[in-house]
């Protein structure tokens, strides 16, 4: 087995979760799963946007942005209280710790918030992957229908005359500033922006349609695949940013892995 194939085999065993002795987390009720997913999405958004907020020029604008992020943390706390398990209470204590720090300048806040997300995802079986293999052509079609008017025909941002109608304007989502995983971007379009023009698509698009769009965007940013690699399951792809894919499978591997993949769990 060459190196890539053995890495891949190791990765598949790891992601399967079905190896002997692997602890089986009890399934969540649909309501609790939705609540945990919303908590994760809120914390992801805070960890990404806190530093960006500090970089804004105008102090009242910074203050408003930080108070929006604080509201997001309060919403997470309310959901955790509703879940009501000891684990949720423990996470809530951590969220409240971040909440107390958010009004000041704290360069570790983003990292610490992200660490809470990682800890949640290690123990709570939140679905982070599509149920079926995403359909890139359908994603492209849906993007044109639901997103292009604001994000531009190819996702790189609208023409200036459209951009200036929004504050903040719709960014380039083909080449985002963050190393998103598809799951994180999926969450972002599920829940939308906080007090921005970015709508929530929780009702407007089915989960599979949202995955189709996200997988389309992640494939589209890369040049065509020239050196095909052993394919990954779409559940594994959903959890990995392009940075992690590059680290694991070599620079540029994403151009092939994002275009040609297997159904989830394969």
Residues near 140 by beta carbon (within 8 Å), at least 6 away in sequence:
216, 220
Nearest position to ligand HEC, beta carbon = 193
Site for ligand HEC in 207-226 (CB under 6 A): 213
Site for ligand HEC in 164-193 (CB under 6 A): 166, 168, 170-171, 173, 176-177, 185, 188-189, 193
Work out the number of other CB atoms within 10 angstroms of the CB of residue 134. 26
Collapsed DSSP state (helix, strand, coil) of residue 262? strand
Nearer Cβ to ligand HEC (168/228):
168
Nearer Cβ to ligand HEC (199/252):
199
Stretch that binds ligand HEC, among 60-68, 92-100, 124-132, 163-171 (CB under 6 A): 163-171
- In angstroms, give the least distance from the CB of 177 to ligand HEC: 6
Quick one: which of 68, 15, 86, 60 has its CA closest to 196?
68
> At residue 265, what are phi and psi to the nearest 5 degrees?
80, 0
Residues near ligand HEC (CB under 6 A), total: 22
Site for ligand HEC in 130-159 (CB under 6 A): 146-147, 149-151
- Interatomic CA distance for residues 28 and 25, integer angstroms: 9
Quick one: which of 110, 44, 111 has its CA closest to 76?
44
Nearer Cβ to ligand HEC (201/249):
201
Nearer Cβ to ligand HEC (146/229):
146
Nearer Cβ to ligand HEC (31/168):
168
Residue with the two structure tokens 């720090």:
101
Q: Are 113 and 98 in contact (CB under 8 A)?
A: yes
The alpha helices in 20-176, defined as continuous H runs, are 30-54, 59-83, 86-101, 109-123, 136-146, 148-151, 160-163
**Residue-wise burial string across 47-71, b where 16 or more C-beta atoms lie within 10 A, e elsewhere:** bbbbeebbeeeeeeeeeebbebbbe
- In angstroms, give the least distance from the CB of 9 to ligand HEC: 33
- In angstroms, give the least distance from the CB of 151 to ligand HEC: 5
Using the rule CB under 6 A, is 65 a contact of ligand HEC? no
Using the rule CB under 6 A, is 103 a contact of ligand HEC? no
Stretch that binds ligand HEC, among 81-89, 105-113, 130-138, 197-205 (CB under 6 A): 197-205
| Chain contacts with ligand HEC (rule: CB under 6 A) | 146-147, 149-151, 166, 168, 170-171, 173, 176-177, 185, 188-189, 193, 196-199, 201, 213
């Amino acid at each position: 087995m060459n190196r890539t194939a053995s890495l891949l085999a190791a990765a598949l065993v790891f992601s399967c979760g079905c190896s002997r002795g692997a602890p089986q987390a009890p399934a969540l009720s649909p309501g609790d799963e939705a609540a945990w997913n919303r908590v994760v999405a809120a914390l992801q958004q805070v960890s990404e946007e806190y530093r960006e907020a500090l970089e804004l020029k105008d102090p009242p604008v910074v203050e408003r942005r930080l108070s929006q992020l604080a509201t997001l943390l309060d919403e997470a706390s309310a959901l955790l209280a509703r879940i009501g398990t000891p684990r949720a209470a423990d996470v809530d204590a951590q969220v409240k710790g971040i909440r107390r720090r958010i009004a000041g300048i704290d360069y570790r806040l983003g990292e610490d918030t992200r660490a809470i997300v990682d800890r949640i995802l290690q123990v709570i079986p939140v679905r982070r992957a599509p149920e079926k293999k995403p359909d890139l052509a359908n994603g492209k079609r849906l993007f044109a229908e639901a997103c292009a008017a604001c994000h531009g025909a190819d996702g790189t941002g609208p023409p200036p005359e459209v951009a200036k109608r929004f504050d903040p304007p719709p960014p380039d989502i083909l080449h985002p500033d963050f190393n998103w995983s598809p799951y994180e971007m999926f969450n972002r379009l599920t829940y939308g922006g906080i007090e921005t023009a970015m709508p929530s698509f929780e009702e407007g698009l089915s989960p599979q349609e949202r995955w189709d769009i996200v997988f389309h965007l992640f494939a589209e940013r890369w040049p065509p695949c020239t050196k095909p690699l052993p394919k990954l399951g779409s559940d594994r792809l959903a959890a990995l940013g392009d940075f992690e894919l590059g680290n694991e499978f070599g620079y540029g591997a994403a151009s092939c892995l994002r275009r040609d993949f297997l159904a989830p769990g394969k």
